[in-house]
Structure 1
Amino acid sequence: MGAYAAVVLAGGAARRMGGRDKPTLPVGGVPMRERVLAEVADASPRILVGAGPAPAGVRLTREVPPGGGPVAAIAAGLAMVDADVPAVALLAGDLPLLTRSAVGELLRRLDDSPVDELLCGLDDPPADVLLRQLDDSPADVCDPVDGVCFVDGAGRRQTLCGVWRPVALRTALHRLAAGRGGGLAGASLRELLAGLVVREVTWSGGGPPPWFDCDTERDVRRAEEWLR
């Protein structure tokens, strides 16, 4: 896949860091949110959701109300993405170890066909193997996925290090807002993504995990060590 947008969420309260504007904290001399934006330099548009100012070439918006949480921030960012954009990377603003190759892996996996997914790791499978794989798979295996995200070593989804189909996210946002009386403030990512078909991706590249986020000063120091 070529074209995609990127929405970087940078409006969290960072309570474990004394309420500081966490994504602006430097790691390796560069603010974390700017590191994230640099790794999606080929996205169009790039959208920063949070307090400004935004770097040159990056659109700025804010969730309603400010501090309303990640789902409200996703809604604000997605509102700035054109309807014909086929994919959007949703990324936390505190991922200093994110790489362009990791984003590229997610984009490729979003476009994998169901058969590609089933036969991953099989070399030139004969037709009978393909038929058995399809017969033994869940009934919905041929449904296209709505998004892909990395999973960590414990099997936890890193949903803010993922790539999603905008139409699926918009549908989910409308459903969730309707169920909450029109508001999205305080809604959880789990609520938003419930019912979506999500492909989980294990990071197999070199280097540290691209989903590593910095919630504490200790996390920042660890990221600094990885980047040396």
Structure 2
Amino acid sequence: MTAYEAPGGPGTEAFDAIVLAGGAARRLGGADKPGVRVGGRALLDRVLTACAGAGTTVVVASPRPTARPVLWAREEPPGGGPLAALDAGLRHTTAPYVVVLSADLPFLDEETVRRLLDALRAADADGVLVTDSDGRDQPLVAAYRAEAPRRELARLATEHDGLTGLPLRRLTAALRLTRITDPVASFDCDTWDDIAAARARIREHGHVLDEWITAAKDELGIDLDVDTAELLDLARDAAHSVARPAAPLTTFLVGYAAAKAGGGSEAVTEAARKAAALALRWADEDRTDAEPGATKPGSGTDAPGTAPDAG
């Protein structure tokens, strides 16, 4: 995975990520919340996609299959609460910045992670967290200077003979924090009603295509920026110039050609350009043949290889 690079230069904002995914999900009846699917993808996988730029991603939970490679950690004892889980995750990180996330954020994306890190770089603070639509702090949608939570967790562990059962506010109250507002990214899924609302939003017209492309890339193991407009234009040209079934078949062939050419966005663009040009040439031939006075090859006196009709 590629470390995040801020405008200040390569490597200046390298970060690790910690995802807390071991809660009991009591309001979901004890369901496996990180594995609940929204838009075809497990909630945990959606969060892992958002922090794909991390140098190391640590998931604090029992191991499970994930769409992206991670390190696994577990608080001792299991179920010891968020501070114990955060402490377990921090022990596996080395970057100067750490993004801390819960595993139930269906709308978190890389842009929010970038905003958190940019705000932290610019602020004289220990951390930056997101506030929700009601103005409430979300300390599990946050970025921290790693030494700050390490220091305070060590202090709390000494004062309380461990971290088990301590609430997150014991940590955040001791840190200098700044905030950004992002009601969408901070939306979390605590209940089945929340899950239903997230699934409904993803299927709204303005979101469904991007959500589907991201889900398909994760499912197929593809890490590639897709120019959706370019491929849709190609599909339209193939459908209109040739026949409707030509659209999906042509886009498949473009993908295959791009893979043979070594993959990457440039290979996709070049293959799409060639296919689009072919579709337009195909349509131009048909229009030329349909012009008044034009004679289709093989159908009249001007057809090559045939003699004029003697009448």
TM-score bracket, normalised by the shorter chain, equals 0.7 to 0.9
Q: For residues 1-228 of structure 1, what are the structure 2 equivalents within 5 Å?
A: 1=6, 2-55=13-66, 56-82=68-94, 85-113=95-123, 144-181=124-161, 183-203=162-182, 209-228=184-203
The number of residue pairs the alignment matches comes to 191
Deviation string, structure 1 residues 53-74 (Cα, Å, up to 9, x no partner): 2535210111111111111110
Report if aligned partners of 2:127, 2:177 keep a CA contact under 8 Å in 1: yes
Report if aligned partners of 1:10, 1:48 keep a CA contact under 8 Å in 2: yes
The higher-RCO structure (CA 8 Å, 6+ apart) is 1
Listed as ranges, the gaps of 5+ residues in structure 1 are 114-143
| Separation (CA, whole Å) in 2 of partners of 1:225 and 1:198 | 34
Deviation string, structure 1 residues 108-130 (Cα, Å, up to 9, x no partner): 000114xxxxxxxxxxxxxxxxx
SS in 1 for 2:164: coil
SS in 2 for 1:101: helix
Report if aligned partners of 1:54, 1:60 keep a CA contact under 8 Å in 2: no
| Separation (CA, whole Å) in 2 of partners of 1:168 and 1:11 | 23
Which amino acid letter does the alignment assign opposite residue 110 of structure 1?
Answer: L
Task: After TM superposition, give the deviation of residue 195 of structure 1 in Å.
Answer: 2.0
Q: In proportion to residue count, which structure has more strand? A: 1
**Aligned twin of 1:132:** none
Which amino acid letter does the alignment assign opposite residue 111 of structure 2?
Answer: S
Task: After TM superposition, give the deviation of residue 212 of structure 1 in Å.
Answer: 0.7
Task: After TM superposition, give the deviation of residue 10 of structure 1 in Å.
Answer: 0.2
Indicate the structure (1 or 2) with the bigger Cα radius of gyration: 2
Listed as ranges, the gaps of 5+ residues in structure 2 are 1-5, 7-12, 204-311
Report if aligned partners of 1:172, 1:193 keep a CA contact under 8 Å in 2: no
| Separation (CA, whole Å) in 1 of partners of 2:92 and 2:189 | 27
**Aligned twin of 1:120:** none
Which amino acid letter does the alignment assign opposite residue 187 of structure 1?
Answer: L
Consecutive aligned runs of 4 or more in structure 1 exceeding 3 Å deviation? none
| Separation (CA, whole Å) in 2 of partners of 1:51 and 1:24 | 12
Which amino acid letter does the alignment assign opposite residue 7 of structure 1?
Answer: I
Change (3 A) 1:76 1:44: same
| Separation (CA, whole Å) in 2 of partners of 1:10 and 1:153 | 23
Deviation string, structure 1 residues 2-33 (Cα, Å, up to 9, x no partner): 31000000000000111122111111111000
| Separation (CA, whole Å) in 2 of partners of 1:47 and 1:53 | 13
Report if aligned partners of 1:48, 1:54 keep a CA contact under 8 Å in 2: no
Report if aligned partners of 1:53, 1:60 keep a CA contact under 8 Å in 2: no
